[in-house]
Amino acid sequence: MAGKPCTDDVQNGRNGLDRRTFLKGAAGGAAVTTVAGCLGGGDDTISLGALYIFSGFGSLYGEEAERGYELAVEEINNDGGIDGQDVEIISRDTEGDPNAGIRQMTSLIEEENVDGLFGLDSSSVAQSIAPQVQEYQMPLMATHAATPFLTSPEGEHDNSVGNEWVFRNSNSLSHDMYGAAQVAATLELDEWATIGPDYAFGYETWDYFQAYCEGIGVDTAFTEEQFPALEESDYSPYISSILDAEPDGVITPLWGSDLTTFLGQAEQSGWFDEIEYTLFSVGMGTDLPADGSPLPEGELASTRYDPFEPDTEENNEFRETYVEEYDTLPTYNAEGAYRAVYLYRNAIEEAGTNADEIRSTFEESEHTGPVGEYAFAPETNQATVPAIWGEVSYDDEYESNVLDSLEVSDPSPEEMQQALEDAGSDLPTGV
């Protein structure tokens, strides 16, 4: 708890022997911890820890998030901070690696004494960190990592790691794939295939897409699947295998610079002439950096936030401020990070820096942001934000890809559960 009097633990109801304090003591000794707690941050600062990928294939997501949270910090501090205290973000690079993620999380909690955590781009990192924040009793607001198992309560499924300390303010892969299945229902294609990254996110995307398609009655076949390693430099064998299978549609959760690499090589292979529709689940046009390969116009992509939807004063103001500041449209990762800082501001203003009170405030309040109004669902702590699918086009004014003909998918948890049951799937909805 950066910059607080060292008696805060007593004041906020934790008696100094709670689990978090015990863990700190085990790591460095109670006396050392006390000193470290006094040294962290300044007396007039609220510290939040940001965990994103800042290097390697997913670094552009960290850069986008950084823009979002820096904008929020600037706005909040210019507006007097949180109860007179400035907000500071201490960012750490997870490298997309679970072990690195845990190391950085531990450092933020034990050394930097942050008041809360947010971020996470990779599902595998998020799944590794979720049990740890529960141990530390530290709130975590996931803004990007999409695995449903992150918010599926522990015990619901073998892979579920959801707990009362983990929240997600963006929509999940499960929600996104329900929307994708709805899109597939309208396209009426005979055969679908996938090419995704060779880790949980790639496989889960394909599993949920198939399950929801079957659950909502899409009459189609699933014929080919390819899962290249992360940071693959040459996708041509995988592209060739997909093209040889001649599916009508392909859904791909490739992301980061892997998506950029894939796009260039797919274009060379005649992919977009041969595949009728490609659904990019993580590839909304502005998701890519200015120097990346843009998504081809006419293809379909999803996003967890659209800069033009909803058409509210809050969203429009955020979009224009962001464009003025960074000369580009905000991506969903920027918006998620921006909103996470405001969630903490609102919670701390209402409840102080007590971790348990922050968590309760997240749970109990109605929230609003550029993405619209939402709440965190009981049991899962998953934000009730819609999945958005649309057709990729190019906007001359913003010099960026945007989505047209938006299909906003906002099913109830019951509808999603029913679809999975009808498909005979044991996957959790995570919502």
Partner 1 sequence: MISTLSFVSVSDLVIGLSLGSRLFLIAVGLSLIFGVLGVLNFAHGALYMIGAYLALAFTTQVIDNFWIGVVAGAIGVGVIGVLIEVGTIRPLYDRVEADLDQLIVTFGFVLVIHEVVRFVWGSQPYSTPAPDALAFSVSVSGSTFSAYRLFVIVAALVVMAALWLFIRRTYFGALVRGTSSDREMASMLGVDVPRLYTGVFFLGSFLAGLGGALSAPLQSTSPALGEQVIIDAFIIVVIGGLGSMFGAFVGAMFVGLMQAIGPSFIAAGHIAIPFLAMVLVLLVRPEGLFGGLGE
- Which residues make up the interface to partner 1 (CB under 8 A)? 55-57, 59-60, 223-227, 231, 233-234, 236-238, 240-241, 243-245, 257, 260-261, 264, 268-270, 273-274, 293
Nearest CB to partner 1, comparing residues 88 and 224: 224
Nearest CB to partner 1, comparing residues 99 and 240: 240
Query: Cβ of residue 96: shortest distance to partner 1, in angstroms?
Result: 11
Query: Cβ of residue 203: shortest distance to partner 1, in angstroms?
Result: 10
Nearest CB to partner 1, comparing residues 91 and 302: 91
Nearest CB to partner 1, comparing residues 217 and 270: 270
Query: Residue 242 carries which DSSP code?
Result: H
Q: Is the Cβ–Cβ distance between 301 and 285 less than 8 Å?
A: yes
Query: Cβ of residue 38: shortest distance to partner 1, in angstroms?
Result: 36
Nearest CB to partner 1, comparing residues 40 and 62: 62
Q: Which two tokens stand for residue 175?
A: 């929600």
Query: Cβ of residue 407: shortest distance to partner 1, in angstroms?
Result: 30
Give the number of residues written for the chain.
431
- Asked whether the CA dihedral 292, 297, 298, 303 is positive or negative, the reply is positive
Nearest CB to partner 1, comparing residues 59 and 361: 59
Report how far apart, in Å, the C-alpha atoms of 17 and of each of 10, 21, 164, 429 are.
10, 6, 20, 36
Q: Coil, strand or helix: which one is 84?
A: coil
Amino acid 66 reads: E
Q: Which two tokens stand for residue 425?
A: 């799937």
CB-based burial label for 23 (10 Å; 0-12, 13-18, 19+): middle
Query: Cβ of residue 194: shortest distance to partner 1, in angstroms?
Result: 11
Report how far apart, in Å, the C-alpha atoms of 300 and of each of 66, 220, 416 are.
27, 18, 22
Query: Cβ of residue 277: shortest distance to partner 1, in angstroms?
Result: 18
Nearest CB to partner 1, comparing residues 141 and 266: 266
Rounded distance between C-alpha atoms, residue 375 and residue 364, angstroms: 8
Strand partners, 12: none
Query: Cβ of residue 139: shortest distance to partner 1, in angstroms?
Result: 30
- Asked whether the CA dihedral 348, 349, 354, 360 is positive or negative, the reply is negative
DSSP per position, 45-60: EEEEEEEE--SGGGHH
Query: Cβ of residue 327: shortest distance to partner 1, in angstroms?
Result: 20
Query: Cβ of residue 239: shortest distance to partner 1, in angstroms?
Result: 8
Q: Coil, strand or helix: which one is 64?
A: helix
Residue 321 half-sphere exposure toward CB, CA atoms < 13 A = 17
Contacts of 148 (CB under 8 A, 6+ apart): 172, 173, 174, 204, 208, 427, 428, 429, 430, 431
Rounded distance between C-alpha atoms, residue 19 and residue 59, angstroms: 34
Rounded distance between C-alpha atoms, residue 14 and residue 251, angstroms: 48
Query: Cβ of residue 57: shortest distance to partner 1, in angstroms?
Result: 7
Nearest CB to partner 1, comparing residues 57 and 165: 57
Nearest CB to partner 1, comparing residues 331 and 354: 331
Nearest CB to partner 1, comparing residues 163 and 223: 223
